[in-house]
Amino acid sequence: MKDVAGLYLARYAEPEANCARPPTRTYRHVLCIPAFDEIHGFLQRVLPRGTADVLVIVVANVPDHVSSAEAAFARTRELLDLAGGIDRARNVDVEIVDRVSTPIPRRAGVGLARKIGADIALRHIVERRIEVPVIYTTDADVALPQDYFEAARGQAAGWVYPFIHSSADEDLAFRALMYELSLRYYVNRLEYAGSPYAFHTVGSCLAIDAVSYAKVRGFPRRNAAEDFYLLNKLAKVGWIRRLKAPVIEIEARMSTRVPFGTGPALARVPCDPTTMPGYARASFEALKMFHDGVEEGTETERPVPRLLDAIGYQPRRDARATHTWFDAFRTLKFIHASREEFPDSPLLATLESLYPAAHTPARMNASLRADESRLPERKGLG
């Protein structure tokens, strides 16, 4: 581990990781949370009741386009006071990283904030300040379940937790439900098509093996989809385990802090849910034809070459090489290219064709979640 992680820390880690002071104690787990414009007491919601033996690394950050006169800047600066012990009797401490005084470049955004926290966590793991070599990462808008830290077991490059969105606001709760349906539908159809990349990519529901994190050079420095791209790389160096439990509860919040993701997606949910678009089922049928052809060695004979040409595909020497190139990113490009022939259709109508007995969005979501719970745990290239 020291060789891989040490090389990463020396060459690719953020400066904060190499100048971080070692904790005065040792801990069993380490949890990383990027925080911008959050309330001072957010950790009371995030951490499970009775949490013990955990170091929480909070990267308090503001993007460089936010003025120091804005309320969001002031609220984030207040988070710097969180440093220290939350519960010394249970060995729970907070390490604060100050990226308020030195704001984060806007284009690097949350990806850089996550990378800073995870790089510091890796440093502490290498120096044996953390017993379990897993980097847990989440967000300030979640409520972690009681057995959160115990769930990431077995050999894997990463673990993806199940999730559900919630809100006391009826409108927000419904918007979150519709957004969640689109996420689950996409992963459901990827699984149907035989993709090795059929897993959710939600940054607040992710744990990462420390060595695998170093192998793929950490989180990308980008303002959105950093979780997608990290998991895309992790799936090529090991298994991604889709956990059945415990479920992480995510607070539904509309936000413009990132160009795409949960916050902006909630704002885009139409007033009439029956008009919300989703990818056509035929797009995934085409994807299935491709994956079936890869397994049979006949992918170029299938009726999808026109779509493969659109993403620049060339046959590879074997199935693993094909899946390495035809990754999560190129899978998404393939689905987007297929829209030229198979236009989007109303999401609810598509889901009703898959689940005829589910006549409401809530029941459709329950059906999708039930299917997820029955899927094989391991995905990726192993």
Residue 311 maps to a domain: no
Rounded Cα distance between 295 and 292, Å, is 5
* pLDDT score at 296: 83
Residue 38 maps to a domain: yes
Q: Could you count the other beta carbons within 10 Å of the beta carbon of residue 140?
A: 20
- All residue ranges of the chain with pLDDT < 50 are none
* pLDDT score at 259: 57
Residue 113, classified by CB atoms within 10 Å of its CB into exposed (0-12), middle (13-18) or buried (19+), is buried
* pLDDT score at 168: 94
CATH of the domain at 145: 3.90.550
Residue 231 maps to a domain: yes
Give the domain extent around 57: 2-164+198-244
* pLDDT score at 249: 97
Residue 220 maps to a domain: yes
- Indicate yes or no: pTM above 0.85: yes
pLDDT digits (tens, 9 = 90+) for 133-174: 999 999 999 999 999 999 999 999 999 999 999 999 999 999
Residue 95 maps to a domain: yes
The number of domains in the chain is 1
Residue 209 maps to a domain: yes
Residue 100 maps to a domain: yes
* pLDDT score at 264: 76
Helix axes 109-126, 2-11, angle to 10 degrees: 140
Residue 266 maps to a domain: no
Contact in structure between 304 and 286 (CB atoms under 8 Å): yes
* pLDDT score at 261: 61
